Amino acid sequence: MSMQFKAFILLILFSTLGCSADKKMNYKTKKVFNINYELDDTKLKLSYKPFMATLYYSPGVDIIENDNELIIIIRKCDYDEKCEVGIKSTSELDPELGIINNITINLKKSFIASQIFINEPNKENSLKVLSGT
Amino acid sequence: MSELSLMEQLNRTRKNHILNDKTVTLGVHSNSSSDNAPFVDGHAWISVTKHRKTKFYGLWPDDHGMTKDNGKGSDIRVGLEGTMLANASRYYKLSSIQALKLDQGLKRVVTWRYTNTCASWASELLHEITGVDIDADDWAGFETPRELGKHILALEKSKGPTSKRSPAQPALRGSSL
């Protein structure tokens, strides 16, 4: 099959899949690995490794901060797009884990790990459970 | 004192054993392996274990949000994958000549394209080095991690499971290897 034909097919495929920069995507919780955190009264440092994909990456997170809970949404972006996110992540190359994402969230009020959730506020998604602490 | 000396001796023996271990193991990996996995999702890569240390190599585009653009340099990037995230892996023990060919193959300048994906590269490099063909061809002839992963799992089932410590021995091809 010629390269040009493949490229044409791929163009159609991407347009039908609706991969575009204006549609916000996020990683399902089960697709986020190696979650670790450091938490104090004013700051949350979070590291995570999203499901690795050549055509996607995580540019960072958006947060929803309520009275009793903090919800962190791990954003997903097409590999070559610069998606807008509330808090941008930085990358770090860990000798064991490979590339991981780091974010720092400045907290308006203090939370404990069981009040912080990834994507959805339920017990299984709490930072305490997901990080295994 | 004599106990410490014994410990030192054991450590030296262990280090020498590792240094003398000339085994090179090539692993091929995918984190996507089911029919339900999306066509465009996932990643495929290889691992190389020498002297009991493992390095990971994958093909990533320059303009990927997670990589640094190295211009005309090779898109083979080292260490991004890390351990533990593959759900399909198969390992091969390399001969010294195959190990040499692998070193040469990893130094080549390779460019990621939609028609030369991470899965294309991993599958073709494995074939070039060992003669083993693990198909990655998906819909319309595109090579994808999910298809490579499916075929890795099928081989692990039909030919027997492999691991880093118990790799398969690829049959040697003619004198060209």
State which residues of chain B have pLDDT below 70: 1-3, 16-21, 39, 171-177
Residue that is written with structure tokens 């996932």 in the block:
B42
Residue B60 lies in a domain: yes
Residue B3 lies in a domain: no
Residues B82, A59: C-beta atoms closer than 8 Å: no
Decide if B164 contacts B87 (C-beta within 8 A): no
Cα separation, A44 vs A111, in Å, equals: 9
Domain residue ranges of chain A, discontinuous segments joined by +: 21-130
Asked if A56 has any chain B CB less than 8 Å from its own CB, the reply is yes
Radius of gyration (C-alpha) of chain A in whole angstroms: 17
Residue B75 lies in a domain: yes
Chain B interface residues facing chain A, Cβ-Cβ under 8 Å? Answer: 31, 39-43, 56, 58-61, 63-66, 79-85, 112, 114-115, 117-118, 140-142, 145
What confidence tens digit (pLDDT) does each residue in B72-118 have?
Answer: 999 999 999 987 789 999 999 999 999 999 999 999 999 999 899 99
Range of the domain at B30: 22-158
Cα separation, B149 vs B133, in Å, equals: 13
The type of residue at A111 is F
Residue B165 lies in a domain: no
Number of domains within chain B: 1
Residue B40's Cβ-side half-sphere holds a number of Cα atoms within 13 Å equal to: 17
Asked if A92 has any chain B CB less than 8 Å from its own CB, the reply is no
* C-alpha closest to that of A31 among A121, A125, A102, A98: A125
Record the pTM.
0.84
Q: Using an 8 Å CB-CB cutoff, list chain A residues near B43.
A: 52-54
Search chain B and give the residue with CA nearest A3.
B115
Residue B175 lies in a domain: no
Residue B174 lies in a domain: no
